[in-house]
Structure 1
C-alpha cells in the first residue's frame, strides 16, 4: 500500500467496481467519446475478480478523504525481445477536481514498483495525440514517446470480416 500525504494507493476490491465504472465514464467524456464506455459493472467484476480462473485485468485506486478519486487499470504484457513480462496500462485517470495532489504520480510509481518487484522490464501505455497535459505529465516523470510506432486496432465490422476470412 502506498501513501502520499492524505492519498492512499491500493489494489481495487470488488466493492470499488462502481467507482471504477464512474471513473471510466468520466475518462471517456474527457476523451470526447462519452458513448464509447459501455462496460457494465458485471463485466468489470468478471474481469477483475473472476469467480474462477485468473483475472484478465487489474486495478489500483487512489483514495483521498475516504473517496475513490483515481484509478489505474492494467494487464500483464509480454516482450518477445526481452523474454519478460511487463505492464500495459490501459487507463490512468484522476478526477479533475483531485488533480495536483500527486495521485497520478503515486499510481504510476506503484505500477513502476510492481514491474521492478516482479522483474518485469516494461511499463507501457498509449496517450491520445491531443492530450498535451497528460503527455507533459508522463514526460516529466521520465516516460518517452515511441514515435516510430503506430497503434492499430481491429474491432467491430473489421474484426468480424477478418475473423470470417
Structure 2
C-alpha cells in the first residue's frame, strides 16, 4: 500500500506505505519510543528484537504487518496490526497493537491517516471489527479515538500472562498466585 495523503493541518504531504525488509530497525525505534511514552520501557526486550521483528514481519509465516508514515523520506509514525478472530461474530477481525507518531508530527493528521489506512486494510479484507487498546490515563488518545467513531469500552480489562516460562507454568497447572508474570489490568 502506498498512497500520498495530504496532512490535515499542514501543507507538507506525507505518504503511508507497507513496511518492507530493512525497515525493522525503524519499526523497533518506534516501539521503544512508544514504550517510553506509555511508561512501559522496562517491558521492552531489546536483545534480538530487530531480528525477531524481521522474522515476524517478513518471514515465511508473518505474524504481523506494519504501515509506516513518511515525510520527506523520513519515517514519522507507524501502525502495527495482525488478524484475530471473534467467536461471538464468528468473523475475522484486525487488532491494532501499536499506533505511534513522533511528538513533533502530532496534530498534523498523521495518526488519523495511519488509523484510517489500517481500517482500509480491515475493510478490504472483509473483517468484522477493528480493535485496539488504550491506556486509561491517555485522555488525548481516548478523545482522538472517540472523535473518529471508536467505542472506548470501560467494561473490559486486558489480561496477560507474560513470558514463555509463565505461560508454561500456567499450562502445567502451577499456582499463578505464587508466580511472577501473571497480571491483569
Instruction: Name the TM tier (shorter chain).
Output: over 0.9
Q: Kindly state the Cα deviation for residue 158 of structure 1 after the two structures are TM-superposed.
A: 4.0
Instruction: Find the counterpart in structure 1 of residue 182 from structure 2.
Output: none
Instruction: Find the counterpart in structure 1 of residue 34 from structure 2.
Output: 27
Whether 1:148 aligns to 2:149 is no
Q: Aligned partners of 2:152 and 2:40: how far apart in 1?
A: 24
Gaps of 5+ in 1: none
Q: How many residues align?
A: 163
Instruction: Find the counterpart in structure 2 of residue 3 from structure 1.
Output: 4
Runs of at least 4 residues of structure 1 off by over 6 A? none
Q: Calculate the TM-score normalised by the size of structure 2.
A: 0.83
Instruction: Out of 33-42 and 18-27, give the one that drifted further.
Output: 33-42
Instruction: Find the counterpart in structure 1 of residue 58 from structure 2.
Output: 49
**Cα distance 1:158–1:15, how it changes in 2: closer, same or farther (>3 A)?**
closer
Q: Aligned partners of 1:151 and 1:34: how far apart in 2?
A: 18
**For 2:88, what is the secondary structure of its paired residue?**
coil
Q: Aligned partners of 1:160 and 1:55: how far apart in 2?
A: 24
Q: Calculate the TM-score normalised by the size of structure 1.
A: 0.93
Q: Kindly state the Cα deviation for residue 81 of structure 1 after the two structures are TM-superposed.
A: 1.9
Determine which of 130, 137, 159 is the counterpart of 2:167.
Answer: 159
Point out the structure with max Rg over C-alpha.
2
Question: Considering only aligned residues, what root-mean-square deviation do their CA atoms show, in Å?
Answer: 1.3
